[in-house]
Chain A
Amino acid sequence: MNIVRALKCRECGHEYEIQPTHVCEFCFGPLEVVYDYEKLDGYFTRELIESRPQNMWRYKELLPIDGEPSVGAQNGFTPLVRAKNLEKALGVSELYIKNDSVCYPTLSFKDRVVSVALSKAVEFGFKTVACASTGNLAGSVAANAAAAGLESYVFIPHDLEQGKVLGAGIFGTKIIGIKGKYDDVNRLCSEVAGKYGWAFVNVNVRPFYAEGSKSLGYEMMEQLGWKAPKHVVVPMASGSLCTKVHKSIKEFIKLGLIEDNGTAVYGAQATGCSPIAKSVKDGTDLIHPVIADTIAKSLAIGNPADGFYANRVINETGGWAEDVSDQEVIDAMKLLAETEGIFAETAGGVTLGCAKKMIESGKLPRDESIVLCITGNGLKTQEAVVDAIDKPRIIDANLKDFDELAAADGFDAAA
Chain B
Amino acid sequence: MKLRVYLTFDEATVREPIIWKLAKEFDVVTNIRTAEVKDHMGLVGLEIDGDDAVVEAATQWLSDQGVTVAPIEQDVIEG
Quick one: which of A6-36 are within 8 Å of B by CB? 22-23, 26-28
Is there contact, CB below 8 Å, between B71 and A202? no
Is there contact, CB below 8 Å, between A286 and B39? yes
Q: Does B64 contact A (CB under 8 A)?
A: no
Is there contact, CB below 8 Å, between B79 and A298? yes
Q: Does B1 contact A (CB under 8 A)?
A: yes
Q: Does A135 contact B (CB under 8 A)?
A: yes
What residues on A are CB-neighbors of B77 within 8 Å?
Answer: 132-134, 155, 157, 182, 185-186, 189, 301
Is there contact, CB below 8 Å, between A187 and B71? yes
How many angstroms between the C-alpha atoms of A27 and B35 in the bound complex?
9
CB distance from A44 to the nearest CB of B (A): 31
Is there contact, CB below 8 Å, between B33 and A26? yes
Quick one: which of B49-63 are within 8 Å of A by CB? 59
How many angstroms between the C-alpha atoms of A194 and B8 in the bound complex?
21
Q: Does A137 contact B (CB under 8 A)?
A: yes
Is there contact, CB below 8 Å, between A304 and B76? no
| Mask: chain A, 180-201; 1 = CB below 8 Å from B; 0 = not | 0011011101110111000010
Q: Does A299 contact B (CB under 8 A)?
A: yes
Q: Does B73 contact A (CB under 8 A)?
A: yes
Q: Does A271 contact B (CB under 8 A)?
A: no
Quick one: which of A279-300 are within 8 Å of B by CB? 286, 289, 297-300
What residues on A are CB-neighbors of B8 within 8 Å?
Answer: 289
Cross-chain contact of A206 among B45, B68, B73 (Cβ < 8 A)? B73
Quick one: which of A181-231 are within 8 Å of B by CB? 182-183, 185-187, 189-191, 193-195, 200, 202-203, 206
Q: Does A136 contact B (CB under 8 A)?
A: yes
Is there contact, CB below 8 Å, between B73 and A299? no
What residues on B are CB-neighbors of A191 within 8 Å?
Answer: 1, 3, 71
Cross-chain contact of A186 among B4, B59, B70 (Cβ < 8 A)? B70
Q: Does B75 contact A (CB under 8 A)?
A: yes
How many angstroms between the C-alpha atoms of A190 and B78 in the bound complex?
12
What residues on A are CB-neighbors of B5 within 8 Å?
Answer: 187
- The secondary structure that dominates the B interface is strand
Q: Does B22 contact A (CB under 8 A)?
A: no
| Mask: chain B, 1-32; 1 = CB below 8 Å from A; 0 = not | 10111101000000000000000000000000
Q: Does A303 contact B (CB under 8 A)?
A: yes
How many angstroms between the C-alpha atoms of A102 and B78 in the bound complex?
20
What residues on A are CB-neighbors of B45 within 8 Å?
Answer: 27-28
Is there contact, CB below 8 Å, between A186 and B76? yes
Is there contact, CB below 8 Å, between B76 and A190? yes
Q: Does A305 contact B (CB under 8 A)?
A: yes
How many angstroms between the C-alpha atoms of A200 and B5 in the bound complex?
18
Cross-chain contact of B79 among A136, A189, A303 (Cβ < 8 A)? A136
Is there contact, CB below 8 Å, between A133 and B79? yes
What residues on B are CB-neighbors of A132 within 8 Å?
Answer: 76-78
How many angstroms between the C-alpha atoms of A202 and B73 in the bound complex?
9
What residues on A are CB-neighbors of B38 within 8 Å?
Answer: 286
Q: A28-B45, A183-B69, A303-B70 are in contact. Are A195 and B76 (CB under 8 A)?
A: no
CB distance from A299 to the nearest CB of B (A): 6
CB distance from A297 to the nearest CB of B (A): 6
Is there contact, CB below 8 Å, between B73 and A301? no
Is there contact, CB below 8 Å, between A237 and B76? no
| Mask: chain A, 110-153; 1 = CB below 8 Å from B; 0 = not | 00000000000000000000011111110000000000000000
- Residue of B whose beta carbon sits closest to that of A155: B77
Cross-chain contact of A28 among B3, B34, B79 (Cβ < 8 A)? B34
CB distance from B49 to the nearest CB of A (A): 12
How many angstroms between the C-alpha atoms of A304 and B73 in the bound complex?
9
What residues on A are CB-neighbors of B69 within 8 Å?
Answer: 183, 187
Is there contact, CB below 8 Å, between B73 and A27? no
A-B contacts, 23 listed (Cβ < 8 Å): A23-B72, A27-B45, A28-B34, A28-B45, A132-B77, A133-B78, A137-B79, A182-B77, A183-B68, A183-B70, A187-B5, A187-B70, A190-B71, A191-B1, A195-B1, A200-B76, A206-B73, A238-B74, A238-B75, A286-B39, A301-B77, A303-B74, A347-B79
